[in-house]
Amino acid sequence: MTDRLNLTPVAIREAMAFADTVFGGRPWAMDHDGVASAVFSQPPIGTVGLTEAQARRRHAEIDVYKAGFRPMKHTLSGRQERTLMKLVVERASQRVLGAHMLGPDAPEIIQAMAIAVKMGATKQQFDEAVAIHPTAAEEFVTMRMREPDPSDVGQVP
């Protein structure tokens, strides 16, 4: 047990790295950054990359974008279920450091976000993507209003 990220897909990838390195003559190491994870609760949670608190500790300045909304499909069903999404962005480079979601289909949507985070996508690249409407995932590419920085309003995260 490595006790780094206790997830089955991580263990499989670590085993592949070990086998390729030791037995296959193709050395490589598992990269533990940007691994997506999910909690299959009701509602489900999906996350990839740094949390807001981790980003604040590691980077000089960050921007946080949030979307809280009631999915359009619930306007027809009458359900009051809401979804929350967050992007954590390094201010200087505009690189997306983390993406987080609480709501229906969060694990499926975060898996796609993991590719963008792993590739070092920027907030501008997210903004330039054309949204599929009406979907929950479109919120990740239509967030435009940055949350107030806690230091601006005298709060500590």
Backbone φ, ψ for residue 104 (5° rounding) = -55, 140
Alpha carbon distance 92, 74 (integer Å): 38
Q: Which of 152, 149, 145 is nearest to 55 (CA)?
A: 149
Q: Is the dihedral of CA 114, 128, 92, 157 positive or negative?
A: negative
Q: Compute the distance between CA of residue 24 and CA of residue 4 in angstroms, rounded to an integer.
A: 24
Contact by Cβ (8 Å): 106, 113? no
pLDDT on residue 59: 96
Among the options 32, 59, 100, 133, which is catalytic? 133
Structure confidence at residue 153 (pLDDT): 65
Stretch 1-19: mean pLDDT: 85
- At residue 4 the predicted structure's pLDDT band, cuts being 50, 70 and 90, is confident
Q: What is residue 68's three-state secondary structure? A: strand
How confident is the model over 98-137, as pLDDT tens digits?
A: 999 999 999 999 999 999 999 999 999 999 999 998 888 9
Ordered domains of the chain (ranges, CATH): 1-32 (no CATH), 35-142 (3.30.390.30)
Residue 133 appears among annotated catalytic residues: yes
Q: Is the pTM of this model over 0.85?
A: yes
Give pLDDT tens digits for 48-104.
999 999 999 999 899 999 999 877 777 777 778 889 999 999 999 999 999 999 999
